[in-house]
Chain A
Amino acid sequence: MKKLFKNKVLSSLFAIVVVLSIFFGVLNAVRTKSTWAENICRIVFTPVQEGAYKLSSSVSSFFENFGDKDKLLQEIEKLKNENSILKQQVNKNNLFKTENEELRRILSLKNAYPELEFQAAEVVGRNPSDWLSTMTIDKGTASGIDVNDVVVSADKMLVGKITDVGSNWAKVTLITDPSNSIGSMVLRSGEMGVIAGERLSDGSSVCKLLYLSKNSDIVVGDSVETSGLGGVYPKGITIGRVTEIKADLQSISQYAVVETGVDLEKIKKVLVVTNDFSVVESIDSADIEE
């Protein structure tokens, strides 16, 4: 130990350490706030630390994101799939909702006319490019459907009549088809006429109420329904509303353009009245009297 203290350097070092230890010990004991030396040190180095922190945060976040890239891509893919499934579900639900509403209307119609026999059918085909306005339904003779049966919508709007039938299918000729001639009348004035379909050059079809006298009492917005004349269509089934009144070429009579009460391009479910015509007519008469 004596030798150690004889070494000048080591003894100086020992003295320095002792002095420093005492100095710092006292300093730490009495220090209640930062010393001026600490403050200067912090003032000088804080901007350096700030810059370094921002830099290292950016670098770290870059690498974190880089590392998570695959995970994020997987997450995006998963969410996309979920989104797609949910969209399909929403579409399905919307379809179910529409179908449900249609079935409710059909049910209410059946309840309103308990004497009528309806056969609900689904539209399985259309012939839009054909010059004939027809559609095919999924029920036929096996369900009691026959030629000339009247086809209506769930809202009791006239759609057409059965013109061809098989065991599990039937062809419906729509009221807009030019081959149709339906005895009709204006509900408000009782003015009689004939509804005939007409195919326009743009491919669309309209109904015309023909053979109206020049002075007939008809205005735009009048409701038109079947008159029961002709023996095919029962009386009192709504066809549509008058949208336009025009004089014919010879100007001796006029005709009205009638907008059908049902969108024939979009209808998906129909009701076929399988009752005997006379039964239907008696029901309709009772309905009018009410």
Chain B
Amino acid sequence: MKYILHSVFLVLCVAFQATLFNFLEIAGVKPSLFLTYVICVAFFAKERETAFIGFIFGLAFDFLIGQKIGLSAVLYLLVGYFLALGRSYFLSGYNVIVVAVVVFLASVLTETIYLFVSLVWRNGIGFWFAFVHVIMIKGLYNAIIAVIDYFILKKFALAFADADR
């Protein structure tokens, strides 16, 4: 059941990342629905599950949008795993603001790594310009989107927990 929910979110991310959010850009920047979802899943799922979801969402992102196959897949896998691990260690209780802050920081970190690795392939992006004008804004935008993801996932997580009991 959980994986049906993840599949639905994957379809929604694919459907809207390159379509609807082209019309909803903020300062010329779109959020990363794939990454935001993976980070939000880390608040509700265990490390392995989040890592797997991260890998699948990252791979889908690479296939449909990304430049280098596997870059996002590996990156999201790591992000998902370590966030879920960190959440279980450091966050016993959290609310939507904590989620938004974590999504912002995780987004900035992930996108910075992505950009740094991309520079190895010499795609000609100015690092500081991209960091200030794209990554920071994207982090904020992801944090806003994460609020929606969080509430939906929370509802389903509670439902799944009830079902498990």
Question: What is the total number of residues of chain A having a CB less than 8 Å from a CB of chain B?
Answer: 28
A56, B63: Cβ atoms closer than 8 Å:
no
The contact size tier of chain B is 20 to 34
Residue of B nearest to A53 (CB): B19
**Given known A-B contacts A17-B77, A41-B64, A45-B14, A31 and B20 have beta carbons under 8 A apart:** no
Q: How far is the CB of B106 from chain A (nearest CB, A)?
A: 17
Of the listed stretches A18-26, A96-104, A121-129, A147-155, chain B binds A18-26
A91 to B64, CA, bound (A): 63
- Asked if B16 is at the interface of the complex by the 8 Å CB criterion, the answer is yes
A38, B63: Cβ atoms closer than 8 Å:
yes
A22 to B77, CA, bound (A): 15
Inside 8 A of A21's CB, which chain B residues have their CB?
70, 74
Inside 8 A of A38's CB, which chain B residues have their CB?
63, 69
Within 8 A of A (CB), among B1-16: 11, 14-16
Inside 8 A of B73's CB, which chain A residues have their CB?
20, 24
A168 to B2, CA, bound (A): 102
Within 8 A of A (CB), among B44-89: 47, 51, 60, 63-64, 68-71, 73-74, 77-78, 81
Number of A-B contacts defined by CB within 8 Å: 69
A124 to B121, CA, bound (A): 90
Within 8 A of B (CB), among A46-71: 48-49, 51-53, 55-57, 59-60
A52, B74: Cβ atoms closer than 8 Å:
no
Residue of A nearest to B121 (CB): A28
Inside 8 A of B23's CB, which chain A residues have their CB?
56-57, 59-60
**Cβ contacts A1-37/B at 8 Å (1 or 0 each):** 0000000010001001100110111011001000101
A56, B69: Cβ atoms closer than 8 Å:
no
A21 to B64, CA, bound (A): 19
Q: Identify the A interface with B (CB < 8 A).
A: 9, 13, 16-17, 20-21, 23-25, 27-28, 31, 35, 37-38, 41-42, 45, 48-49, 51-53, 55-57, 59-60
14 additional contacts (CB under 8 A) given A13-B78, A16-B77, A48-B15: A13-B51, A24-B68, A24-B70, A24-B73, A41-B60, A41-B63, A45-B11, A48-B14, A49-B14, A49-B19, A52-B15, A53-B18, A56-B23, A57-B23
Q: What are the nearest 7 A-B pairs in CB distance?
A: A24-B70, A52-B15, A56-B20, A60-B23, A53-B19, A41-B63, A52-B19
